[in-house]
Structure 1
Amino acid sequence: MAHNNEHEDRVVDNGFELEQHHHHQHVHDVDDEHKLSQQKGSSKRLLKEEEASIEKVFKHLLVPSWRNQLTIRAFVVSFFLSVLFSFIVMKLNLTTGIIPSLNVSAGLLGFFFVKTWTKFLEKSDMLKQPFTRQENTVIQTCVVASSGIAFSGGFGSYLFGMSEHVATQSSDTSDFKDPKLGWIIAFLFVVSFLGLFSVVPLRKIMVIDFKLTYPSGTATAHLINSFHTPQGAKLAKKQVKLLGKFFSFSFLWGFFQWFYTASDGCGFQAFPSLGLKAYENKFYFDFSTLYIGVGMICPYIINVSVLLGGVLSWGVMWPLIETREGHWYKKGLGPSNLQGIQGYRVFIAIAMILGDGLYNFVKVLTHTLLGLYSQLRDKRREDALPVADQDSPSSPELSYDDQRRKQLFLKDQIPTLFAVSGYVAIAAISTATLPYIFPQLKWYYILVIYLIAPTLAFCNAYGCGLTDWSLASTYGKLAIFSIGAWAGASHGGVLASLAACGVMMNIVATASDLMQDFKTGYLTLASPRSMFVSQIIGTTMGCIISPCVFWIFYKAFPDLGTHKSQYPAPYAIVYRNMAILGVQGFSSLPDNCLLLCYIFFGAAIVVNLIKDLVGKVGRFIPLPMAMAIPFYLGPYFAIDMCVGSLILFIWEKVDKAKADAFAPAVASGLICGDGIWTLPASILALFGVKPPICMKFLSRSTNDRVDTFLGN
């Protein structure tokens, strides 16, 4: 989605990076790194080559004009689904940051709602326009664009990292900017559209000339195509029915749990299922249907990596480092003080994330440059240069499907002049406006970012087409360190670098998302114009919906962003401390922390290198990005995700065909039900309605003391 999380670029093979191989899925690096891309079982099934021509199945159907693909009902459905998915992505952002791709759920729910509406109108003889796969693609594009803003908007990372709340937990409190609905919406409006205009002129080169695969875009297109065949429609109906059942169960389970959470440390999420000592070190099952669902969508290696990272950190390293209290760091420091044990947790996690990000940045950049070189060399041999608005002679080997798709993809052109002038106009407005929102972010910093951003947006979109990895959060981190070092501590470098991260991330994330959508549109015969307009409308919705959803969380939960909160927003503190490192260097680290950071930074690179060198065996090697997440948060959510993996594994052993067909729907239902329960829970909190019961667990000796005290 997510993309997608950090969207976190939206992850995949790297598992977590959740930004990597999309055939595996795209997980938001939580920090946003990567939008855990499509569902695993579904992707395998959908990415198989079609045995028969898809377009011949739809040959008798007229393809609507691009204007007729953009229907009012499509955008009404998109709006409601955008609100639903924004709540889900926001909850994931603010809890662990692992965000699976919601593309399949968006396509499935969009199909169900519009199909139900058109069936009703058909019976009433009021149906003027049948529901087409092109309209389904428009809905999916709009919803993913809108909910993608909840990821790239930085509500769980750079944007919330600017707040005083997070600043008080970091080593520098001099520079902060508290969230306000007005400036957040203004900021998103001036930075979220540039990426769309930056890659529009390249759509023909990427999709037709270079024939880039865009695995998630392709999987989504095959899914939508299959829905609109008679057999696919029957299967989709069963999938939606199952999704509805598990949505209801998940929602009601969230409602039931709420009654037992009267204060901190109460309820099922505080159930010491593995014992009290394990619970103290964050090892417990917290009964979260949301993360069981995420575990069913994520590749097995991601879930195992997260659990392994939790065992290594909370099971081995932190207990050992705590024995050095008074030697490596002062005694009696609070649990959130970065001069104490918390400093090791945060900075070692940052080192692993940066090592993994650097390795994959170099790897994808190398892939991109080598791929680009070979494409251009082959083009020279054919003596035909790929120019955006120039149609090359069609090759005689093109299949019927390819001929039909190419013909319609090139029919509705988006003029290059329109794209370039749009980019320049928005960049000019943005350069003039952003210094008013962030006085520390000088106009010349913004100008430099906008001059190099189209190149980086192209690299990200091209790399995403080859590998399905969107490295948006990695480019954001580059902006943090470069702008932070340029600005310096005395000129508000921390805020300037976090704001620059937001500008960069929004450009490169929306660029790769748009190209994925162009690929989906190419395979479903949706017009590039309707795709572009849908992306613009979805982004506009997202710039309003996402800040409002975040504002509900911000106002309803006063402890948002603190370590022991229900919503700890782990990446906010991580991004802020990256900005502090970029501005101040390593002076704020506790003893031996820098040495450990170097070791884990190097280890992340070495593990990735070994993973790539050993071939097929590499898929069993854990992913450093995924391992880094529980270093700060603890492994409790990893246990939930592994339960999801176990359910899927057993289901696949019992009936693989049913698991492939229905597991994504079950997972989506679990995620959506728990995600949407946060809306009534937030409203109850806003009105000061507290749960009536606190369910807590005590050791026998503590219980005896309590009984004695109460007896007296």
Structure 2
Amino acid sequence: MTNYHVVFLQGDYSQVPDFELPAPHTYTKTVYPQTTLSQLHERIHDASILVFSKIELDAIALSPEVTPHLKLIVVVATGTDCVDLEVCRRRGIAVSNCPSSNVEAVSEHAIGLYFTTRRKMLQLHSMTRAGEWPRQKTLMYRALNKDGTPPLTCQEEVVGIIGNGNVGKRIAGIARGLGMKVLISGRKNDSTMTNGENRTPFDTVVKQSTVLFLALPLTDQTRHLISTPELEAMLPCAVVINVSRGGIVDEDALVKALQKDQIAGAATDVFSEEPSAPDNSALLREDSQDLNLVVTPHLAWLSQMTFNNYSRLLQRAVEGWSSGSRCNIVVAEKGSDAAADSMDYQTINMPGNASGIPPSDGATTDRPSRPLDYGNEQLSTVDDTGLSSPTPVPQSFTLRSLLVGLLIGALITFSNTYFGLQTGWISTMAMPSALVGFSVFKVMSKYLSYPFTPIENVLIQTVAGAVGTMPLGCGFVGVIPALEFLLRDGKDGPSGDGGTGEGGPLKLNFWKLAIWSLGVCLFGVVFAVPLRKEVIVREKLKFPSGTASALMLRVLHRSGQSDEKTRDGSGQSGSALRDDEEEALISRRESEDDNMLWKQDDSLARNNEKEDWRSKMRLLASAFVVSGVYTLFSYFVPQVRGIPIFGLSLAQNWLWTLNPSPAYVGQGIIMGPSTCMHMLFGAVLGWGILSPLAKARGWAPGSVRSWEDGSQAWIVWVSLAIMLADSLVSLGWLVLKPVVNNAPALKARFLSSSFGRWIGSKTPITSNHRSYISYAALSPISEEPSSIRSQPILSTGRCSEASDEGDEDAPPSQLISTRTVIILLPLTLILNVVCMHIVFGDIMSPLLSSLATLLAVLLSIMGVRALGETDLNPVSGISKLTQLLFSLATPASHFSRRTALVTNLLAGAVSESGALQAGDMMQDLKTGHLLGASPKAQFYGQMIGSLVGAVLSTAVYRMYVNVYEVPGPMFQTPTAYIWIFTARLVTGQGLPPMAWQASLVAGVVFAAMTVLRIVAASPIANGGHHGVTAPWRSWIPGGIAVAVGIFNVPSFTLARAIGGMIAWWWSRPYSKGPSSVLEPPTQQLAGSPNAQQVTGNEIQSTDGRRKADQTTKEADVASSTVVVLASGLILGEGIISIVNLLLASGGVPHL
């Protein structure tokens, strides 16, 4: 039998539990409320187990003469820096602690100190009690900062946190919940930022923070971490809150900084010497009495929860040790399994122990421990047994995610090449890529060394999209087939010589195509980097597809973990979306009164979400199988691709057949009902009216299928005119829109200038000056950037400058540096020019290649902005605009037909590639921004994906053109004809009879229709409301959709129309108009009447809000479900077409 004597040295600081020791062990206990150093040796002499909170146990106290029977020390706190652990290790004395017990109490105390200091509550309280209010009439001036500015609100604060342990993380979570921007500091003087992900350099945190929280241990490196240089660098509106350790802040320097008004205030719960008094602390001297300085006596840890946690962990530590198990053991006794652990436990004092150890009489608090990396403390979680276990920091760039992204992208490349050669349609497949990537790692979760995070999922989506879009980015669905197959045979010559020959098709082998692809695939990615800060961080453009992907990823990954884990695992920003719509949803959810009911509902919702992703995967797989079976069947029975649903006569004479391809039905689902109906209108206009008309009037005397003199070629000119008209008007509005939107502000600024006032005094506009500015000031909130709304009205000086930079962004360590862009952008531009010269040097001069590249860079800005606002990247319009502009650089009088055509085609291809790459990169960056992913990781993932995709798409394209007839019945390459026809048009070559008259009429009509569609989406047609679209807009045909319906044969358009009707049917319960079910969730929230009720109706009941939220959620589920269905149908045919390709190359006969 072993009897242990348990001695409590500071019983006041913890509840004394009863222990249940395993037989034959027994125990007796002695409880002392407090213990001084003079009493220490006597009280610990007979102890087998010592329990205390903060008493210095040095080598003498731990010697065999003083503590001959000592077996176990339990520190009722997180930190163990008060114990000489090396002596304990040598003697075999086990040391245990109680980690994370005081996290909630200390974090809440820190936030309380912040509010007290920021609002000067103690001074205002004292003055109000002293009767100063009636005497002074107002005490507002005492609440102002010394520079006369009012206090900041939470949404204006930039919170810097030094010490990212449990307390630091909890403070960060509370701060974000209050609307503050949070910066997590790296180590001081660490320029390499090797201290972990999602860190901001120490100096940057000090300079930019308006609130600086200190929650880190005291070490030799952290002593006087905040001293004169740091305080001088801080903003004058900044406040410092210390709930960690005395000594981290230089108290004398802090008082001097407050006296000089270098900072606005400070608060501390800890002191360099405790207990503190005016004679040992500058913070309590008389000259600090009138400062905005709040002090509390090291009681931040005090709460009922802390006591309960201490008692629970203390009991488990003693009982676990006596039974041979390891519960929070910091140093293990000799002979145990834990003793063999080679880990250095000197620093396992858990950074969460900020302000968490109550001081004792005569005990010092400034004993330094071994150096600790306070910028990258390991996150720990406490499970049901009270054990602390490490949680790995998420990695932004991982080899496993890169490889999975490349594999998924390769499959998309086959799919896009297949559909691109057929109809010119490709898709980035962002959401399917993310879903498939998530499913792969979900299935393999048991075999993963660390958890799969949303950050990695974003990388998969980025890499897969980069690889999969290269068939379009490198021109393999349009320009390259035009160069290889559509240049006319015959002798080349200058325009006007009476000839039509263009020297015949270009012969481009695999290596030339690969070199061209490698040159054109990178510069758009690099140029997107400097655009990110403007369009995503500052302007917060929607990028609806990117936002929808972020929402889906958040739901998928939340199904397997708690929100808190998701936030902690996703870095500084967490996986919570930063957009206003998502914040509104979160705030409504958190405002529910019945917390227990909310937790039950949330648990049920998570179970539903977990089942939801499984059902989506089943749906994706089922759709894939159905589409794949059809694809194989269509190889052996090719007649199925052209079913004469309107009779044999229309099928044979006018090409009116139906291709019941599930993939094209899926494309129609994704396009939505409005776009599909406009395409169907185009098919009726082109193939039902214009084609028979041209044939009957003799304008196109050849066969309908002929691309030389048939009606198919004739109507393409009309399609081209419509496309050009729509593109030019849309791009023109894109340029003018910022000027129009900012006109009131620009005019008001001009009128407020001295010159403007002088002009106003001489002209009648003076009478309208006041009312006009008044109107401009009342612009809708939705149109104001959040950074402008967040600025204090009276703010001036450095704090005002700080608010200008308050747009939340990734930590600097995760951003692509300006130096990287300055180096890579010229290199990629030069690479493109060099590669073009290598491949086409005998036709296109380096000067023209350089001009085309620079023009592509400029026009990609338009593509990015259009994509961010409308979710449509007008790459087709941009390329046509480039062809039009470039025709001026290659006049027919100075260049041969072949040179002019090839140069024109390549210039357009470069512009299309640049706009595509920049837009694709920006969509993915939007997703990453919302989920807290590293832009740097995404950038390098996109670069790698683009390089791999360039080579892979070359190989896939070459496989298809070697096996199939291109152009031919299977792959008609309609976009290649659009390219070559545009080039011939702008270089002055003739049109078929009556084609220019018909094209002119169509261009004028659809230019007017495009203007009407623009008006329908403007405040003019919506009662002055921004972000709302008039319902009649869907009934005005869109030019691009109509043009696509004309240049594609009806069989594809009819299948897409069926898909559009399916999308309409699916969306009926959730939409009140003809808009597509695929409108991204943010658009639905921002623009629908329901969204206005949810966010703007002040008298709406809670039940009403819940119903609106439920309706929105159901609409989102329906939207994502139908996208998954469509993606499965598309991927099925696109990927299984590889099998058809192999069958065709092997000469397998059709039935």
The TM tier, using the shorter chain, reads 0.7 to 0.9
Paired amino acid for 2:802: P
Greater CA drift, 224-233 or 671-680: 224-233
CA contact (8 A) 1:518 1:528 kept: yes
Greater CA drift, 471-480 or 290-299: 471-480
Q: Partners of 2:517 and 2:800 in 1: how far apart? A: 36
Confirm whether residue 462 of structure 1 aligns to residue 921 of structure 2: no
Confirm whether residue 209 of structure 1 aligns to residue 612 of structure 2: no
Paired amino acid for 1:683: L
TM-aligned CA deviation for residue 623 of structure 1: 1.4
Alignment match, 1:192: 521
CA contact (8 A) 1:181 1:548 kept: yes
TM-aligned CA deviation for residue 374 of structure 1: 8.7
Relative to structure 1, the CA distance from residue 60 to residue 395 in structure 2 (aligned partners, 3 Å threshold; closer, same or farther) is farther
Q: C-alpha deviations, 1:484-511, integer Å up to 9, x for none?
A: 4422453411111111112222222212
Alignment match, 1:648: 1063
| Aligned match for 1:225, one of 538, 549, 554 | 554
| Aligned match for 1:183, one of 512, 516, 528 | 512
Confirm whether residue 561 of structure 1 aligns to residue 967 of structure 2: yes
Confirm whether residue 604 of structure 1 aligns to residue 1037 of structure 2: no
Q: C-alpha deviations, 1:170-214, integer Å up to 9, x for none?
A: 965325313422111111111211112223133223222222222
Greater CA drift, 487-496 or 618-627: 487-496
| Aligned match for 1:272, one of 644, 648, 670 | 644
Report the secondary structure of 1:566's partner residue: coil
Q: Partners of 1:192 and 1:140 in 2: how far apart? A: 18
More helix by share: 1
Relative to structure 1, the CA distance from residue 166 to residue 441 in structure 2 (aligned partners, 3 Å threshold; closer, same or farther) is closer
Q: C-alpha deviations, 1:4-47, integer Å up to 9, x for none?
A: xxxxxxxxxxxxxxxxxxxxxxxxxxxxxxxxxxxxxxxxxxxx
Q: Partners of 2:685 and 2:500 in 1: how far apart? A: 26
Paired amino acid for 1:247: F
| Aligned match for 2:838, one of 432, 436, 445 | 436
Greater CA drift, 573-582 or 612-621: 612-621
Q: Partners of 1:178 and 1:334 in 2: how far apart? A: 29
More strand by share: 2
Relative to structure 1, the CA distance from residue 600 to residue 222 in structure 2 (aligned partners, 3 Å threshold; closer, same or farther) is same
Paired amino acid for 2:530: P
Confirm whether residue 670 of structure 1 aligns to residue 1042 of structure 2: no
Relative to structure 1, the CA distance from residue 455 to residue 593 in structure 2 (aligned partners, 3 Å threshold; closer, same or farther) is closer
TM-aligned CA deviation for residue 276 of structure 1: 1.2
Q: Partners of 2:537 and 2:428 in 1: how far apart? A: 25
Relative to structure 1, the CA distance from residue 132 to residue 369 in structure 2 (aligned partners, 3 Å threshold; closer, same or farther) is farther
Alignment match, 1:41: none
Q: Partners of 1:52 and 1:291 in 2: how far apart? A: 47
TM-aligned CA deviation for residue 594 of structure 1: 0.9
CA contact (8 A) 1:293 1:641 kept: yes
Q: C-alpha deviations, 1:450-506, integer Å up to 9, x for none?
A: 444443333332332233232222222222233344224534111111111122222
| Aligned match for 2:674, one of 298, 301, 321 | 301
| Aligned match for 1:619, one of 1026, 1034, 1048 | 1034
Relative to structure 1, the CA distance from residue 365 to residue 192 in structure 2 (aligned partners, 3 Å threshold; closer, same or farther) is same
TM-aligned CA deviation for residue 527 of structure 1: 0.7
Alignment match, 1:703: none
Larger radius of gyration: 2
Greater CA drift, 187-196 or 659-668: 659-668
TM-aligned CA deviation for residue 96 of structure 1: 1.4
Report the secondary structure of 1:408's partner residue: coil
Q: C-alpha deviations, 1:599-619, integer Å up to 9, x for none?
A: 111111111122233433112
Confirm whether residue 289 of structure 1 aligns to residue 662 of structure 2: yes
TM-aligned CA deviation for residue 553 of structure 1: 0.9
TM-aligned CA deviation for residue 579 of structure 1: 1.0
Alignment match, 2:1141: 682
1:78-93 matches, cutoff 5 A: 78-93=405-420
TM-aligned CA deviation for residue 271 of structure 1: 2.0
Relative to structure 1, the CA distance from residue 632 to residue 458 in structure 2 (aligned partners, 3 Å threshold; closer, same or farther) is closer
1:502-513 matches, cutoff 5 A: 502-513=909-920
Alignment match, 1:416: 818
Paired amino acid for 1:582: V
| Aligned match for 2:977, one of 554, 560, 573 | 573
TM-aligned CA deviation for residue 166 of structure 1: 5.7
TM-aligned CA deviation for residue 89 of structure 1: 1.0
Confirm whether residue 108 of structure 1 aligns to residue 435 of structure 2: yes
CA contact (8 A) 1:215 1:465 kept: yes
Q: Partners of 1:270 and 1:416 in 2: how far apart? A: 54
Paired amino acid for 1:197: V
Q: Partners of 1:580 and 1:174 in 2: how far apart? A: 14
TM norm structure 2: 0.50
TM norm structure 1: 0.79
Alignment match, 2:228: none
CA contact (8 A) 1:227 1:236 kept: yes
Report the secondary structure of 1:228's partner residue: helix
CA contact (8 A) 1:306 1:635 kept: no
Alignment match, 1:313: 686
Relative to structure 1, the CA distance from residue 370 to residue 445 in structure 2 (aligned partners, 3 Å threshold; closer, same or farther) is farther
Q: Where do 5+ consecutive residues of structure 2 fail to align?
A: 1-176, 183-378, 382-389, 491-498, 560-605, 750-784, 794-798, 1017-1029, 1071-1113
Q: C-alpha deviations, 1:345-366, integer Å up to 9, x for none?
A: 2211111111111111112222
Paired amino acid for 1:642: A
TM-aligned CA deviation for residue 217 of structure 1: 1.4
TM-aligned CA deviation for residue 689 of structure 1: 1.6
How many residue pairs were aligned? 608
Paired amino acid for 2:396: Q
CA contact (8 A) 2:692 2:711 kept: no
Paired amino acid for 2:400: R
Alignment match, 2:335: none
Relative to structure 1, the CA distance from residue 688 to residue 454 in structure 2 (aligned partners, 3 Å threshold; closer, same or farther) is same
TM-aligned CA deviation for residue 448 of structure 1: 2.3
Q: Where do 5+ consecutive residues of structure 1 fail to align?
A: 1-50, 122-126, 262-266, 385-389, 694-712
TM-aligned CA deviation for residue 370 of structure 1: 4.8
Relative to structure 1, the CA distance from residue 71 to residue 507 in structure 2 (aligned partners, 3 Å threshold; closer, same or farther) is same
Report the secondary structure of 2:646's partner residue: coil
TM-aligned CA deviation for residue 167 of structure 1: 4.0
Relative to structure 1, the CA distance from residue 613 to residue 652 in structure 2 (aligned partners, 3 Å threshold; closer, same or farther) is closer
Greater CA drift, 667-676 or 163-172: 163-172
Paired amino acid for 1:460: G
TM-aligned CA deviation for residue 519 of structure 1: 1.5
1:536-547 matches, cutoff 5 A: 536-547=943-954
Instruction: Using CA pairs under 8 Å that are at least 6 residues apart, name the structure with larger relative contact order, 1 or 2.
Output: 1
Q: C-alpha deviations, 1:234-272, integer Å up to 9, x for none?
A: 3112101111011112111211232223xxxxx211321
Report the secondary structure of 2:987's partner residue: helix
CA contact (8 A) 1:367 1:463 kept: no
Q: Partners of 1:445 and 1:64 in 2: how far apart? A: 52
Q: Partners of 2:745 and 2:504 in 1: how far apart? A: 47
Confirm whether residue 246 of structure 1 aligns to residue 575 of structure 2: no
Confirm whether residue 550 of structure 1 aligns to residue 960 of structure 2: no
Q: Partners of 1:560 and 1:607 in 2: how far apart? A: 35
Relative to structure 1, the CA distance from residue 177 to residue 522 in structure 2 (aligned partners, 3 Å threshold; closer, same or farther) is same
Paired amino acid for 1:685: A
Report the secondary structure of 1:163's partner residue: helix
TM-aligned CA deviation for residue 333 of structure 1: 6.6
Alignment match, 2:882: 479
Relative to structure 1, the CA distance from residue 361 to residue 63 in structure 2 (aligned partners, 3 Å threshold; closer, same or farther) is farther
Alignment match, 1:707: none
Relative to structure 1, the CA distance from residue 641 to residue 409 in structure 2 (aligned partners, 3 Å threshold; closer, same or farther) is farther
TM-aligned CA deviation for residue 407 of structure 1: 5.3
CA contact (8 A) 2:416 2:425 kept: no
Alignment match, 1:637: 1052
Q: Partners of 2:613 and 2:876 in 1: how far apart? A: 34
| Aligned match for 1:362, one of 725, 732, 752 | 732
- Across the aligned residues of Structure 1 and Structure 2, the Cα RMSD in angstroms comes to 3.3
Q: Partners of 1:74 and 1:479 in 2: how far apart? A: 37
